[in-house]
């Protein structure tokens, strides 16, 4: 049997030897990086798609709901029935009709007891003023019709 010098041989004396250490890279390291990049790209695409869907598909905040007009009755046609259909979906509402008499007063007098007028949800008319029972945000609109 022969004598073979090892890298850490004490008996060989003070020989200059160099050691080269090579680290073996993991074979799955590149897979995790690739998976991470793929996940980030997929999340960005999903976020962009949700943004476009939200922007294109959401209803306009200023649009009014469509009213279904029944053709069974002549009374349920025109703008008044459309208004009635919208009001049925509302919690609180008041619809007034105004009248003006020449010579008596320069003030328009409102009424909730004639024609298509009504009150609902606690709203009421008191001395030509609308009384709102509680504070909150309300949708306010007006419509003017004239008889010729």
- Model pLDDT for residues 83-129, shown as the tens digit of each residue: 666 656 567 888 888 887 777 777 888 888 887 788 887 888 888 88
Q: What are phi and psi of 42, to 5 degrees?
A: -65, -40
Q: Which two tokens stand for residue 129?
A: 């003023």
Q: pLDDT per residue over 45-80, tens digit each?
A: 999 999 988 887 766 555 444 443 344 444 445 666
The pLDDT assigned to 90 comes to: 60
Task: Give the Cα separation of 83 and 98 in Å (integer).
Answer: 16
Q: Rg of the Cα trace of the chain?
A: 41
Task: Give the Cα separation of 143 and 148 in Å (integer).
Answer: 16
Q: pLDDT per residue over 8-54, tens digit each?
A: 656 656 666 667 777 776 667 788 889 999 999 999 999 999 998 88
Percent composition of the chain: helix, strand, coil (DSSP 3-state, to 5): 30, 10, 60
Q: What are phi and psi of 111, to 5 degrees?
A: -140, 140
The rounded Cα 52 to chain-centroid distance in angstroms is 13
The pLDDT assigned to 42 comes to: 97
pTM value is: 0.36
Task: Give the Cα separation of 144 and 60 in Å (integer).
Answer: 25
**Bridge partners, residue 109, by sequence:** 99
Angle, alpha carbons 96-102-104 (nearest 5°): 85
């Amino acid at each position: 049997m022969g004598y073979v010098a090892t890298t850490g041989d004490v008996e060989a004396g003070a020989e200059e030897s160099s050691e080269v250490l090579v680290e073996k890279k993991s074979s799955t390291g590149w897979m995790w990086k690739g998976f991470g990049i793929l996940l980030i790209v997929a999340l960005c695409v999903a976020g962009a798609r949700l943004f476009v869907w939200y922007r294109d598909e959401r209803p306009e905040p200023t649009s009014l709901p469509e009213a279904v007009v029944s053709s069974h009755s002549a009374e349920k046609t025109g703008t008044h029935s459309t208004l009635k259909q919208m009001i049925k979906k509302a919690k609180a509402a008041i619809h007034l009709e105004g009248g003006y008499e020449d010579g008596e007063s320069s003030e328009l007098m409102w009424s909730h007891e004639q024609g298509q007028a009504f009150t609902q949800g606690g709203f009421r008319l008191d001395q030509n003023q609308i009384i709102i029972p509680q504070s909150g945000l309300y949708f306010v609109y007006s419509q003017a019709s004239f008889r010729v």
